[in-house]
A = this chain, B = another copy of it.
């Protein structure tokens, strides 16, 4: 069990490269890219990736953890805002923007794990507040919302039409608002 001796300079450099490449590649193509893609992009052999991260999944977590944590913090912050409806829909917009920009968002929010649960909980709070205030239809659940968003993001990313993401997102947002108000 070597103590955490400081990394050799090239090792540190390569670790950074791998992380940066993983951010890019996961962001463009989601979790389901071959690991070689990341290694190549980093200018590094596949073996080097495994020297720094025990599994592909660990690498993915390392990449998305910050982002998901940011989303959670954002959701919790907004939960204290005055207008529950505005808070909820602003957060959804943020989530939509994030998802449109980074393809791995969909995997990040849906893959089981402690962070996902935390995000789920934070979203549930926002949702319930908004529903209680009558700003959002009452029948939908937080789990529905997560699943629906994941589906939407996948639809949007598969599309050849770049405008689709915005249109379907707007449609769902409008569907969430209470009808006849």
* Interface positions of A (Cβ within 8 A of B): 137, 139-141, 143-144, 147-148, 150-152, 154-155, 158-159, 161, 164, 167-168, 170-177, 179
Contacts and interface: CB of A to CB of B under 8 A. Distances in A.
B161 A155 contact: no
State the main secondary structure of chain A at its contact with B. Answer: helix
Contacts of A150: 155
19 contacts: A141-B161, A141-B167, A143-B161, A143-B164, A144-B161, A144-B167, A144-B168, A147-B158, A147-B164, A147-B168, A148-B155, A148-B168, A148-B171, A151-B152, A154-B154, A171-B172, A171-B176, A174-B174, A177-B179
A64 to B, nearest CB: 20
